[in-house]
Amino acid sequence: MNIKSRTLLIALLTSATLTVAKVIVGILTMSMAVFASALDSLMDIFSMAIGFTAVRAAEMPADDKHQFGHGKAEAIAGLVQAVLIAVSASFLIWQSFHRIIDGYRLADEEFGLAMIVVALVVSYWLARKLKRVGECERSTALAASALNYGADVWTNAGVLVALGMEKWAQVKNADPLISILISLYIAISAVRIARDAIQQLMDLSLPRDMLFAIDHCVRAHSPKAHGYHRLKTRMVGHEKHIEFHLELDHRLSFEEAHLLTEQIIADIRHAIPDSHVTVHSDPV
C-alpha cells in the first residue's frame, strides 16, 4: 500500500471515530450544530471510502480496455464527493431553519465543548496531512479530502462558538444560525471540488508554467529544433500527458533526428515529473 492509500485509510478510520463521538455528543447536548458536524463527518466516511477506492483504481496499470490507464478514477471520486457534500449542506440548512421555527433546548454544553475541541484538533491535523500528501502526489482525491477536512475545521470552530454563545451569552438561535453558516461554507467547498474534478474529466490543458517548461525544452535545442506545433496536453490524476509535432532541421540524418527527439522528450520528463510525452518529428 503506497502513501496515498495509507493516508486515505488513516483518514477513513479517523472519520469513523469522529462520527461516532459527535453522534453521542449530539444526542447528549441536542445541539443542531453538533448534529450538523456529525452528519458532515458521516459524509467524510463515504467520501474517504470513495477516494480510497478511486486511488487504488487509478494506480492500476493500463490494460487492453483502458489503454490510457485509470487515472480519471480520482477525478470521478472528487466529483462524487462534491455531490455528497452539497447534499449534506442542503440537508443541514433545511433542518436548521426548522429549528428556528419550531424552537429547541440544549443540554450538557460543557461536555459538548470538550469533545468538539478534540474533533477540531484532529480535523486540523488531518487536513494538513492530506493537503501535503495530495500536493506531493498530485492527487485529486486527496486534494478533495483535504478541502473536506479543512471545512471540518471551520465546522467544529462554528460548533464551539454556537455552544458557547448559547451557554454563556444566552443568544437565541445561535446554534441553528451558525449551523446554516457552516453549511454554506461546506457548499462553497463542494463547488470548488466539483470544478477541479470536471476540469480533469474535460481534459483541461496543463498549467501555464508547465507549457512554458515544454517550450523551453524545445527552444534549448535550437537551431536543430526549429519549434513545434499541434501541442496537446492534459492531466489525468497526477499524470501529465503531452503530445506535439517537433520541427527538426531537414538536413539531420534519421539517426540524428531520432536522438535529438529522444533528448527533448527526456528533458521534458525531467522538467515535468510524471509526464508521458509523445512526439512526432517533422522535417523543416
pLDDT tens per residue across span 198-229: 888 888 899 999 999 999 999 999 999 999 99
The three cell numbers locating residue 178: 451558525
pLDDT tens per residue across span 2-43: 777 788 788 888 888 888 888 888 888 878 778 777 877 777
Helices (H), 30-108: 32-58, 72-102
The three cell numbers locating residue 223: 537551431
Cβ neighbours of 122 (radius 10 Å): 19
Rounded Cα–Cα distance for residues 133 and 140 (Å): 11
Q: How confident is the model at residue 242 (pLDDT cuts 50, 70, 90)?
A: very high
If one compares 254 and 142, the residue with the highest pLDDT of the two is 254
The ranges assigned to domains in the chain are 3-201, 208-283
CATH 3.40.50.300, domain 208-283, yes or no: no
pLDDT of residue 1: 60
Superfamily of domain 3-201: Cation efflux protein transmembrane domain (1.20.1510.10)
**Sign of the four-CA dihedral 122, 128, 133, 138:** positive
C-alpha 157: how far from its chain's center? 22
How many residues in the chain? 284
pTM over 0.75: no
Reduced to 3 states (helix: H, G, I; strand: E, B; else coil), residue 238 is coil
